[in-house]
Chains A and B, each alone.
Chain A
């Protein structure tokens, strides 16, 4: 991998426009509610 930063499709995250969250927790909740699980932004299950 030459650049370390790659461009792939990420449904939801690729939607145009900036997103501003008043707390990091709000961002986590938005990710959990709006992004497909396979992107990995959902909370991890308890170990």
Chain B
């Protein structure tokens, strides 16, 4: 027993609250999503995987502006159009909007497999790992072994 504070992912909380208020249909994905499931890592940015439709895109634009991101008309249109990968750095933290993550066939299937952790809609650990495996970057390769081990423990406790 100790008196340490529970895990408190403030950036993810801000995203979740703003997206919920705007009615955005999305999932957390990437290493941040794994952290929300309990993986003991760190990451710099928040990755979200939104449903790709224009109305959801408009809600997403409203939500990220509410969070304090500066979005010009061009980027607004790109979000509404669902461009595959949009990286926002003009805001309180880095936010990657990923409409087409590697290794995941489509949003509907990912949503069906997703879990809800508190206020966080999170891609399944299987999809998080599949996406990292498919992207095949050096930093993902370094994480994958530990993520595979985490998945075993995560699935045992669910």
Residues of A within 8 A of B (CB): 1-8, 10, 13-24, 26-28, 31, 37, 39-44
Whose C-beta in chain A lies nearest to the C-beta of B42? A6
CB-CB under 8 A from B9, the residues of chain A are 3-5
CB-CB under 8 A from A20, the residues of chain B are 74-75, 78, 83, 85-87
Interface size on B, residues (CB 8 A): 44
- CB proximity of A34 to chain B, nearest CB, Å: 12
Tell me if A21 and B83 are in contact (CB < 8 A). yes
Contact digits for B1-39, partner A, Cβ 8 Å, 1 yes 0 no? 000010111111000000000000000000010011000
CB-CB under 8 A from B36, the residues of chain A are 4
A40 vs B144: C-alpha distance in the bound complex, in angstroms? 13
A16 vs B89: C-alpha distance in the bound complex, in angstroms? 6
CB-CB under 8 A from A17, the residues of chain B are 89-90
A23 vs B139: C-alpha distance in the bound complex, in angstroms? 20
Binds A, one of B93-101, B106-114, B147-155: B93-101
Interface of A is mostly: loop
Tell me if A18 and B71 are in contact (CB < 8 A). yes
- CB proximity of A5 to chain B, nearest CB, Å: 5
CB-CB under 8 A from A19, the residues of chain B are 86-87, 89
Contact digits for B125-158, partner A, Cβ 8 Å, 1 yes 0 no? 0000000000111111110000000000000000
A17 vs B108: C-alpha distance in the bound complex, in angstroms? 30
A14/B89 contact (C-beta < 8 A), A6-B43, A20-B78, A24-B98 known: yes
- CB proximity of A13 to chain B, nearest CB, Å: 7
CB-CB under 8 A from B139, the residues of chain A are 39-41
CB-CB under 8 A from B32, the residues of chain A are 4-5
Q: Does B41 contact A (CB under 8 A)?
A: yes
